[in-house]
A and B are shown apart, each in its own frame.
Chain A
């Protein structure tokens, strides 16, 4: 156990050091010196990965709060806290990444008083601000419980349902608006990815990734924090995932056919290869895995299907925002080391904060049982596991 721990610690320290150096470079020498961005290619990996993928990976938050609090499916309650934590951390990190990418980050508050409702970016800015606030409030009971602050806890619990509804609405808007961003550049994008229904694609795939991320982080938490794996709950998420992926696949095929670009998927070339990597990871492989009962009922099978979905839709976001724009504008972009270093530091920081939160905050508390005692027979095992762990 000990040498592996040291290896990860070393990796973490290395990523942090490289990230700090890249940060210094970014804020003392400017975007030109710290990125491979250019007038021909003004958006790079900080937008493609840190923002587009970051928001997508946080989608478990609204997917699961809607499932538990709106649709009242109580057996999902046991995994809601780590999911909200992931979403909250995700949004905090997206805001952090924006501070690197914006040319004048100290003006980030400008949309508060300078309005342009015709701009998708204005919508994005408000969604980021408001939903980060909502997530902070949804996450706050966990911190308030830890410090036994009963009064504010009561206030947050009283407004929980309106808060959840607001969060689901904002997420729907935000996830889809990241697709809407690209609607204005039909001529600059490769036709395999430009589509008038990009907002719908981004929204449906966000739900798929939200479910996959919930399976992924629950499995990881079980493995690394010794928590009991709620397999029956994850299996159910796996079934819903099949339906959502199926819907996405149908939409994607119909869209390609409707726009008359179906032949492009068999035309050899760079874009076609990346299209097939994306579709294989996001749709074909996970559907092939999950549709077999044997795989779906096995923790490892579920885990790898979820990983494939996540990687597939990361590829999708990168294809929309990099591959498609490269093809349409005739330039090549590959991130500079400092762009990669900042991104790696942000990801490593996210993992570290998740670990710290699980260790010091009541992520699987006894209260969760009393909140959901109606029809939640699978809960006590996990709660017990959480309690045992809290003693560490």
Chain B
């Protein structure tokens, strides 16, 4: 069963315990300065943004069909059946196509290191694999970040909007964006306030490139046949010309003897 996170920003009190738990889980430094940073970075995989009295988390959406995993030439990024989108640094060669391709611009890079890694929230794959919640969901004191089965969480998110239509923007962010994600967001103010694009494609991004790539197995034999055929025809003319010239020469020789 695929797992997911539901973050209901109306229940969030901005305590940032999720940030701290995430840092501990991923062995990242955490102090007051880092707590004040309002963006994701190579040392901060989730950030609680503040706009007035409203809060919103930013983290990897762990897409159902992730662009980052589809573009990785060595398969270092993988979507697991349980939901997390994981990263294997030992495979990575550092082409950074994942960073370019991510529609949410989530993956970050260790620019200062000589053996840099791509860094992002991976939805605590080790914890999820052993039946535990993600670190951020476990620590959340108000239940604003909730971990559970993806289908059940999506139904719950829609139910919350249905029960309190005045309280929420009528949209579960992540339900349909880029074909659906494993992180759902609820908000009382437009998602754009926190930099979430709502004009984003509803179709999975990987199809955009795979539509083209899938033609290669047809193109190679057909193209080879065509080029080989052109070569055969264009050179046939030379052979004919040569044969005719030889024949003419022979005829002349024979004519000379007679």
Residues on A facing B (Cβ under 8 Å): 27-33, 37-40, 42-43, 66, 69-72, 101-105, 107-108, 110-111, 114-125, 161, 165-166, 168-169, 172-173, 176, 180-181, 183-188, 196, 199, 325, 329, 374
Contacts and interface: CB of A to CB of B under 8 A. Distances in A.
A111 B74 contact: yes
B72 interface: yes
Contacts of B224: 165-166, 169
10 contacts: A42-B109, A72-B235, A101-B95, A103-B96, A104-B116, A105-B94, A181-B97, A181-B209, A184-B70, A187-B103
A118 B206 contact: yes
A180 B206 contact: no
Interface in B98-134: 99-101, 103, 105, 108-109, 111-116
Interface stretch (B3-11, B17-25, B181-189, B225-233): B225-233
B111 A184 contact: no
Interface residues on B, range: 35 or more
* Chain A binding surface, main DSSP class: helix
B74 A114 contact: yes
B234 A121 contact: no
B38 to A, nearest CB: 14
B219 interface: yes
B223 A119 contact: no
Interface in B211-245: 212-213, 216, 219-220, 223-224, 227-228, 230-231, 234-235, 237-238, 241-242
Interface of B: 41-42, 67, 70-76, 91-97, 99-101, 103, 105, 108-109, 111-116, 197, 199-201, 205-206, 208-210, 212-213, 216, 219-220, 223-224, 227-228, 230-231, 234-235, 237-238, 241-242
A27 B241 CA distance: 60
Contacts of B208: 183-184, 186, 196
A103 B93 contact: yes
A196 B112 CA distance: 36
A325 B230 CA distance: 41
A33 B230 contact: no
Contact of A114 (B91, B227, B234): B91
A319 to B, nearest CB: 16
A104 B71 contact: no
A116 B95 contact: no
A27 B116 CA distance: 12
Which interface residue of B103, B108, B201, B212 has the most chain A CB atoms within 10 A? B212
Contacts of A103: 92-96, 109, 115-116
B91 A110 contact: yes
A71 B230 contact: yes
Contacts of A28: 114
A33 B70 CA distance: 30
Contact of A102 (B95, B197, B234): B95
A176 B213 CA distance: 10
A64 B223 CA distance: 17
Contacts of B220: 169, 173
Contacts of A29: 114
Nearest to B119: A39
A180 B219 CA distance: 15
Contacts of B199: 187
A39 B99 contact: yes
A111 B234 CA distance: 38
Contact of B93 (A110, A166, A325): A110
B80 to A, nearest CB: 15
Contact of A125 (B41, B67, B73, B108): B73
A107 B93 contact: yes
A116 B105 CA distance: 21
A66 B234 CA distance: 12
A257 to B, nearest CB: 21
A180 B213 contact: yes
A236 B152 CA distance: 68
Given A168-B227, A173-B216, A32 B92 contact: no
Top 3 A-B residue pairs of the complex, sorted by shortest distance between their CB atoms: A103-B94, A32-B111, A72-B234
B41 A119 contact: no
A119 B209 CA distance: 8
A122 B111 CA distance: 23
Contacts of B219: 169, 172-173
A239 to B, nearest CB: 19
Contacts of B100: 42-43, 185, 188, 325
